[in-house]
Amino acid sequence: MESKILAAKDIVKRYGDKEVLHGVSLELRPHTIYGLIGRNGAGKTTLMGIMTAQNTATSGSVTYGGEPVWENRHALADICFSREQNPNLLMGRNTYKVKHILQMASYYYPHWDQEYAQKLVQEFGLDVKKQICKLSSGMRSMVTILIALASKAPITFLDEPVAGLDVVARDQFYHLLLEEYQETERTFVVSTHIIEEAASVFEKVIFLDKGSILTMQDTDVLLSHYHYLSGRDDTVKEAAGTYPILHEERIGRSMTACVEAPAGALDARCRELDVSLDPVPLQKLFIYLAGHEQEED
């Protein structure tokens, strides 16, 4: 499988007077799992739609291996954008069965693996004779996941793939995703609101907020630059020194602060001042960097 880079450059998207993407640029490297994280309305689905030629940009460009993606069947043959569709609007009908959807997918995706698709049908316990509109939300999500994985597309986007799945099924999905990633050279981009469950899977994260990229980094590198300091408020402030405090919470004289500081920079000072030093979860870090005090919906 030839390795190519999918790149977006200066992507702007407007709907009427509203600009939802503001000059977004990024490159997706081969054989990587990306987490695309942002609040509702941040522009995640719009960006993925543009990068997969299912939506048009107002300005900017998307290339795959240096060639434009738009109306390029060779490029699009290597790209899959998997998202749950309203079953009642699918092709204008509501009578399609699971087997019909999978058959259409096998025609559409040139790398389709029918044997793997059948394996996933069995593993998910899908009734292929059942109409899509009569499936539960969780089962529809499983059909979406099945198509994404069995497409074998070198670059695969999954938009909220675990929506409607219970905790066991979500764990099953991430296991299958890692298994497929380890056995192939595929690149995956996963957009999800359930960040903490997926955090350990993401090699790189893209934080998108209000139509702009806040940061795009290796997950481990990003997290290594932020820490929780906990203790008496005066000692926490002393331990933090001149390093920026992104967020703080107080209970009486006790304080916990999220501090931006490189790995190892605070160890000695925290030991000396009896201040606890702990990692910051990815979900909390996004909230602090985006400047939102409330959890995501």
Instruction: Say how far apart CA 102 and CA 135 lie, in whole Å.
Output: 15
Taking only Cα atoms into account, the Rg of the chain, rounded to an integer number of angstroms, comes to: 22
DSSP 48-112: HHHHTTSS--SEEEEEETTEE-TT-HHHHTTEEEEE---TTTGGG-S--BHHHHHHHHHHH-TT-
Residue 297 is predicted with a pLDDT of 37
pTM above 0.75, yes or no: yes
Comparing 155-159, 192-196, 282-286, the range with the smallest average pLDDT is 192-196
Rounded to 10 deg, the angle between the 114-124 and 137-150 helix axes is: 160
pLDDT at 258 over 90: yes
Identify the CA nearest to 36 among candidates 22, 47, 23: 47
What is the pLDDT averaged over residues 84-89?
52
Comparing 22-31, 94-103, 150-159, the range with the smallest average pLDDT is 94-103
Give 81's strand partners.
157
* pLDDT, tens digit (0-9, with 9 covering 90-100), for 162-176: 988 999 999 999 999
> How sure is the predictor about 295, in pLDDT bands with cuts at 50, 70 and 90?
very low
In which residue are the tokens 């640029």 written? 25
pLDDT at 223 over 90: yes
- Strands 155-159 and 204-209 turn out to be unpaired
* pLDDT, tens digit (0-9, with 9 covering 90-100), for 115-163: 999 999 999 999 999 988 888 889 999 999 999 999 999 999 999 999 8
CA distances from 205 to 9, 58, 87, 107 (A): 18, 25, 31, 32
